[in-house]
Amino acid sequence: GAVVSQHPSRVICKSGTSVKIECRSLDFQATTMFWYRQFPKQSLMLMATSNEGSKATYEQGVEKDKFLINHASLTLSTLTVTSAHPEDSSFYICSARADRGSYNEQFFGPGTRLTVL
């Protein structure tokens, strides 16, 4: 149990286009999901907290108009990178927080490799 999927696993796009990445909790409900960005050989940086049915909470320095987050159901959050540029190329990882027990563990997706040409 507690599986999180991401789609696509890899995407290559042209500069100026938009890319949507999906994060799904396959066997549990998650009112909260998180989006992280990871540059090569670096740690995960939290971009935003996605809350089902409400607006996402963005970390300082993350442009909310560029990284659009939608959490329309208890099992799906999407991250759309708008007007992508080469500097947006990165590994994007989502996690879903399981709504159970006194501690709500996060489960991570396998990541999406975005390359912007």
Partner 1 sequence: AQSVTQLDSQVPVFEEAPVELRCNYSSSVSVYLFWYVQYPNQGLQLLLKYLSGSTLVKGINGFEAEFNKSQTSFHLRKPSVHISDTAEYFCAVSDLGSGNTGKLIFGQGTTLQVKP
Least distance in angstroms from the C-beta of 66 to partner 1: 21
Does residue 77 bind partner 1 (CB under 8 A)?
no
> Concatenated DSSP letters for 52-96?
TTS--EEPTT--TTTEEEEEEETTEEEEEE-S--GGG-EEEEEEE
Q: Which stretch binds partner 1 (CB under 8 A): 13-21, 40-48, 70-78, 81-89?
A: 40-48
Interface size with partner 1, residues (CB under 8 A): 24
Least distance in angstroms from the C-beta of 83 to partner 1: 26
Tell me the residue type at 59: E
Let me know: does 111 contact 7? Beta carbons within 8 Å.
no
Does residue 13 bind partner 1 (CB under 8 A)?
no
Quick note: the x/- pattern for partner 1 over 87-116, rule CB under 8 A, is ----x-x-x-x-----xxxx-xxxx-x---
Choose among 70, 71, 110: nearest CA to 92: 110
